[in-house]
Chain A
Amino acid sequence: MNNLLLYGITIILLFLSFIKDKKKTKKALKKSWKAFENILPQFLGIIMLVGILLAIMNPEIILSLIGEKSGWYGIIISATVGAITLIPGFVAFPTAAMLLEKGAGYMQIGAFVSALMMVGIVTMPVEIKFFGRKLTILRNALAFVFSFLVAFVIGKVVGGI
């Protein structure tokens, strides 16, 4: 549904662009291709790496580490797992829901979801290419630390701890 919308908008804009100025449209598509080709090696590498990491880490392993009683130790582990992996939301959320059902703590899941979204260790090579080393490391480090605050607030509000 979301993809359909994205494609719809893109096709309409591309069509309008083509009607208005063929040359400019061609130039735009050339730029699109160049930007894509520029980043393709990293994209491919990351997809492979994530596939391998996800295969190695299964829910049982994760669950044994982040149970409700695991405390701050479990929160650190959840945030670390979230930071390293790059799981698409439509896989991550049902997995998180399942982990909660099986006894993971709210704080741990909060840290996991927040780190998963904001921190991207495996995508750092791409980020460095655009933002440089310093800003990339700093952004990811700040986001990682912030995940603990998210864990704390989620624990208070949702978990009632």
Chain B
Amino acid sequence: MRHIKRYKFFIITIIVMIILNLNSGNLGVKAIQNVGFSMKEMILIIPPVFVLLGLLDVWVPREIMMKYMGEGSGIKGVILAFILGSAAAGPLYGAFPIAAIFMKKGVKLSNIFIFIGAWSTTKIPMFLFEMTSLGMKFATTRLLVNVIGIMLIAYILDLVTSEEEAIELYRKAESN
């Protein structure tokens, strides 16, 4: 029963998929092809990301993460968050479990949001790909504006989070 509840969303999408395939063959086939494509990406990316996540959790002590990316880590923490996010691979939802480990290790909230922003927007391989598709001018302009945006959004989010909310957030990450 617990599993049915957890997979409710997935089950609904399966039902929609079946209806789509019964009613309009072409769209249904295309939808299945799309799912196959994403599944392949997920199967490829997820194992190493989660293994790295486990290793990070076990081997890197909280003190070290706190020193480099925690409160008072300053510009060093910001740069590190950008580098870690930009070096990542895989879709954005892969970043959230890693963000939870970061919380567990005492990384500052604004740096976590910078990491999430960088993961979504400044990934190096994606940037190279963007450059070849849309041109150097487009890609670099977008990157520069987005870098400013990532920092801005991270600070705003940090600002609106009260201390109690932050504590609750970090406590939840701890229990996961």
Contact = CB atoms under 8 A, between A and B. Distances in A.
A110 B55 CA distance: 38
A139 B149 CA distance: 11
B57 A51 contact: no
A55 B31 contact: yes
Interface string B50-62: 1111110111000
Nearest to B144: A153
Nearest to B5: A41
B126 interface: yes
Nearest to B58: A28
B133 A41 contact: no
Contacts of B47: 10
A109 B35 contact: no
Interface in A48-63: 48-52, 54-56
Given A50-B34, A113-B130, A131-B169, A158 B54 contact: no
Interface in A1-31: 2-3, 6-7, 9-10, 13-14, 17, 24-25, 27-31
Interface residues of B, number: 82
B156 interface: yes
A96 interface: yes
A41 B169 contact: no
B55 A17 contact: yes
A135 B33 CA distance: 34
A70 interface: no
Given A35-B54, A93-B130, A135-B157, A48 B17 contact: yes
Interface residues of A, number: 76
Contacts of B93: 39, 42-43, 46, 120, 123, 126-127
B146 A35 contact: no
A29 B59 CA distance: 12
6 contacts: A10-B52, A44-B13, A55-B33, A96-B133, A96-B134, A109-B134
Interface of A: 2-3, 6-7, 9-10, 13-14, 17, 24-25, 27-33, 35-36, 38-39, 41-52, 54-56, 86, 88-91, 93-94, 96-97, 100, 106, 109-110, 113-114, 117-118, 120, 123, 125-127, 129-132, 134-135, 138-139, 142-143, 146, 149-150, 153-154, 157-158
Given A2-B89, A6-B89, A52-B17, 16 more contacts: A2-B125, A17-B59, A28-B51, A29-B54, A35-B50, A41-B6, A48-B13, A89-B123, A89-B130, A90-B129, A91-B37, A109-B134, A118-B117, A126-B93, A134-B165, A158-B135
